[in-house]
Amino acid sequence: MNGLLGAQLRMIYRARGDYLAPVIFYVLVASLFPLALGPSPRLLSLIAPGVIWIDATLASVVAFAGLFRDDYDDGSLEQMLLSPRPLELIVLVRVFAGWVSLSLPLVLLAPLLALWFSFPPPILPVLLVSLVLTTGCLTLLGALGSALTVGLRHSLVLLPVLLLPLATPVLIFGAHAVLLAERGLDPRTPLYVLAALFFLALALIPKATAAALRVALEV
Amino acid sequence: MCGQNMLDIEGLVLRRGRRLLARRIDLRVDRGAFAYIVGPNGSGKSTLLRVLAGFGRPEEGVIRWSGRTIGEWGGAYRGEVAFLGHLEGIKPMLTPEENLAYRRLLVGPTGWRVPTPSPFFDASALPDLPCQRLSAGQRRRVSLACLEHSAAPLWLLDEPLTSLDHDGVAALGGLLARHLMAGGTAVVASHQPLPPTLVPATVLELGTKR
């Protein structure tokens, strides 16, 4: 499995231009808010959690729409399905490689965004922990959405419609944890719920994604 | 009844969407032999090969491989089949040798075989460039090099001669002959005439009015 992960990461590195665009999109969207709403630190730090979450969700949806699209187009999906290895495991490796290359940059850039939104620095750890869990859930959901729409045209429009309702609980608890921390309250409860959601997704989604990919290739 | 590495198809009905492609296909391919599928465009050659590869289930009819139906094989059937379709199944951003290494990771050590004495399609002889910068014929050679390393006994080849030059066609003939000699089985669909050294055990014509 290590070899498979290495191969996936190498492919992503070779096509790094495609994977950089969602990250730039993420930074650009966040930078629009201070410009549009004015530079008032109070207002910005108030809306920061919501903005960062919506932004991360949109960037993830854009980024993961094509997770299996290339494999479908060049025929490697057929070969993946014929592999004697469990398809769920291949899917999981692919999702993890996708998370490292697309979501990890979003998490690492969050402190920069926090600076723009005059976000109080002591809350950064809470922000990062909840972003890691949120992006984990979003990556898994994105993989499922990508698998469900892989054979369709115009999936870039369909996918957000499909995914955003599913991403709502993740968004609610993720942003809520940061809001609580900002007010000096204990953010652990929403973080635990978020972690539970992540592990639920980790348990169920690879299997559902594998099934969706099999259906996509049916004659 | 149905021995090792023997493919037996009974009363298979092929549909693509709602369209009926073939009413009843009966086909038997023995160990060490191959079936040649011919027919006009849209007659169901590719659909037949995809059904044989296990992509989707036939509505009617039974496919037996080595005495067991695909359903009875379950997940183990995937290790029995090597499929070469219209799409090359190689990654455009990887070089030929990296593609070979990736396929090796996918099929695992048991499904992988180093061709002896020497490969008919040698990935290391191709330019060390990402495959998206190679010609269509060179990409097909990468794909065939992956096929050549497959230890799967049942080879399903859909138009394998596409974009190959004369040498390539001859090499494919040699490759297939070696696979059959080793006790493998194959189903080949093609419009182009096969190399004269290859004599199919069965010719199945699809799309003819009966």
Q: Domain limits at A94? A: 2-216
**Is residue A53 predicted with pLDDT exceeding 90?**
no
The total domain count for chain A is 1
DSSP label at residue B166: H
Q: What is the mean pLDDT of residues A163-190?
A: 90
Interface touch A84/B16, C-beta < 8 Å: no
Residues of chain A with C-beta less than 8 angstroms from the C-beta of B85: 75, 78
What does the pLDDT read at residue B210? 44
Q: Which residues of B are less than 8 Å from A73 in CB distance?
A: 87
pLDDT value of residue A88? 94
Size of interface A-B (CB pairs under 8 A): 81
Backbone angles phi, psi at B202, to 5 degrees: -135, 140
* A18 lies within 8 A of chain B by CB: no
What is the nearest CA distance from A36 to chain B, expressed in angstroms?
A: 40
Which residue segments constitute the domains of chain B, with CATH numbers given? Answer: 7-204 (3.40.50.300)
Give the separation between CA A71 and CA A22, rounded to whole angstroms. 19
Tokens describing residue A84: 């004697």
State whether B55 and A73 contact (CB < 8 Å).
no
User: Could you give the maximum distance between any two Cα atoms of chain B, in Å?
Assistant: 51
Peptide bond into A122 cis (omega under 30): no
How many Cα atoms sit within 13 Å of B14 on the Cβ side?
22
What is the number of other CB atoms lying within 10 angstroms of the CB of residue A6? Answer: 15
Distance of CA A90 to the CA centre of its chain: 18
| Cβ contact B23:B197 at 8 Å | no
**What are φ and ψ of residue A131, in 5° steps?**
-70, -40
Residue of B nearest to A13 (CA): B93
- Mean pLDDT within A119-140: 90
Residues on chain A touching B94 (C-beta within 8 angstroms): 10-11, 14
What's the average model confidence in pLDDT over A164-190? 90
Angle, helices A104-116 vs A41-64, to 10°: value is: 160
CA distances from B103 to A82, A201, B80, B89, B150 (A): 11, 29, 15, 9, 9
Beta carbons of B83 and B46 less than 8 angstroms apart: no
Please tell me the predicted confidence (pLDDT) of residue A66.
80
Min CA distance, A1 vs chain B (Å)? 8
Beta carbons of B180 and B34 less than 8 angstroms apart:
yes
DSSP H/E element including B148: helix B136-148
Sort out which chain B residues have CB atoms less than 8 A from A74's CB and list them: 87-92
Cβ(B155)–Cβ(B180) under 8 Å? Answer: no
Q: Do B89 and A3 touch (CB under 8 A)?
A: no
Q: What distances in angstroms separate CA B169 from CA B85, B104, B159, B192, B195, one per listed residue?
A: 17, 24, 11, 10, 7
Q: Which of B56, B101, B107 sits opposite A218 (nearest CB)?
A: B56
CA distance, residue A73 to nearest chain B CA (Å): 8
3-class DSSP state of B23: strand
Write out pLDDT tens, residues A10-20: 998 998 888 88
What is the bridge-based pairing of β-strands B34-38 and B185-189?
Answer: parallel
Interface of A with B in 80-109 (CB under 8 A): 80-86, 90
Query: Which of A77, A79, A207 has the most B C-beta neighbours within 10 Å, making it the best mutation to test the interface with B?
Result: A79
Average pLDDT for chain A: 90
Q: For chain B, list residues with pLDDT below 50.
A: 1, 209-210
Tell me the average pLDDT across A176-185.
88
pLDDT at A74 over 50: yes
